């Protein structure tokens, strides 16, 4: 049998097995096995001046143990958030209380947390994965702890000046996403800034996901691989218009920008009403 036919047979077998695995919950065993395999992929010897998490934690966050990607993408996304915050007068170094929702193993926090703490502010990170939060707490400035799939966070009302969440809403079903938008609004002070990324229709087109783009024409919130909510396995997509409706009761949308060709997700810049 040719290599092409073998590959086609594997794809067909996966399409047949996948719904059964998702329905029974066995997909988690398969996905975790894939993560362990990915963590053994050579990651190179790249280093920067900041602590580098072990490969299994990087895979849990981004699906790759590539150290250069982890460092470079984290720095660029930190600059991305820093620039949007500064545009609206919220500087990370100005004694701010900053919350990183879905901090992972610090891909972005490792660049922003020192700036916040050195500026006299407080940096707080949360992640659904206890191991990721524990690594950040042991290796990065700031306070880090595990959160649950659904709110609340252990913060009083109006405690934060800035909340950012990179690729968190991309892994949530719509009811859970709505609850987290409510929770972000609760912990932000009036006028506080939320910076939230999501998968939009433009990002689907840029990634070549025609079936997702088509689905969004009739379902403004669409979930691909609907299992293991909160993990990288599940992939949630929504139109920018629908996301604007979801945030409208609690936030003033300052900007909602489409996904970009450099694979930056769509971003919503929101002011707490």
Sign of dihedral through CA atoms 241, 75, 134, 41?
Answer: positive
Q: Is the pLDDT score of 5 beyond 70? A: no
- Among 32-36, 60-64, 157-161, 266-270, the range scoring the smallest mean pLDDT is 32-36
pLDDT at residue 167 in the model: 97
Q: Per-residue confidence at 21, pLDDT binned at 50, 70, 90? A: confident
Whats the size of the chain, residue-wise?
273
pLDDT at residue 214 in the model: 96
pLDDT at residue 127 in the model: 98
> What percent of the chain shows pLDDT beyond 70?
97
Give the phi and the psi of residue 116 in degrees, each rounded to 5: -70, -50
pTM of the model: 0.93
Q: Of 227, 198, 174, 243, whose CA–CA distance to 102 is shortest?
A: 198
**Count of beta carbons in the 10 Å neighbourhood of residue 157:** 10
Segment 50-70 shows an average pLDDT of: 94
Q: Is 13 exposed, middle or buried (0-12, 13-18, 19+ CB in 10 A)?
A: exposed
The answer to whether 128 and 148 are in contact (CB under 8 A) is yes
- Domains in the chain (CATH in brackets) are 1-40 (no CATH), 45-272 (3.40.50.150)
- Identify the residue with better confidence: 41 or 137: 137
């Amino acid at each position: 049998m040719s290599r092409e036919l073998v590959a086609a047979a594997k794809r067909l077998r996966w399409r047949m097995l996948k719904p059964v695995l998702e329905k029974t919950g066995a997909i988690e065993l398969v996905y975790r096995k894939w993560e362990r395999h990915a963590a053994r992929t050579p990651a190179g010897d790249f280093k920067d001046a900041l602590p580098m998490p072990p490969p299994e934690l990087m895979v849990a966050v981004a699906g790759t143990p590539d150290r250069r990607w982890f460092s470079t993408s984290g720095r660029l996304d930190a600059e991305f958030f820093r620039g949007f915050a500064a545009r609206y007068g919220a500087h990370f170094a100005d004694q701010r209380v900053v919350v990183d929702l879905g901090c992972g193993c610090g891909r972005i926090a490792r660049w922003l947390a020192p700036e916040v703490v050195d500026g006299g502010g407080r940096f707080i990170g949360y992640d659904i994965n206890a191991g990721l939060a524990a690594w950040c707490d042991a290796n990065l400035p700031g306070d880090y702890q595990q959160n649950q799939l659904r709110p609340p966070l252990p913060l009083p009302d109006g405690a934060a000046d800035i909340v950012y969440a990179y690729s968190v809403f991309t892994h949530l079903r719509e009811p859970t996403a709505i609850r987290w938008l409510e929770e972000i609004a609760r912990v932000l002070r009036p006028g506080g800034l939320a910076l939230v990324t999501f998968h939009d229709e433009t990002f689907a087109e840029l990634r070549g996901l025609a079936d997702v783009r088509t689905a969004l024409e009739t379902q403004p919130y669409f979930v691909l691989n609907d299992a293991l909510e909160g993990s990288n396995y599940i992939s949630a997509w929504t139109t920018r218009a629908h996301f604007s409706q979801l945030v409208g009761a609690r936030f003033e949308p300052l900007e909602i920008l489409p996904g970009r060709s450099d694979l930056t997700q769509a971003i919503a810049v929101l002011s707490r009403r």
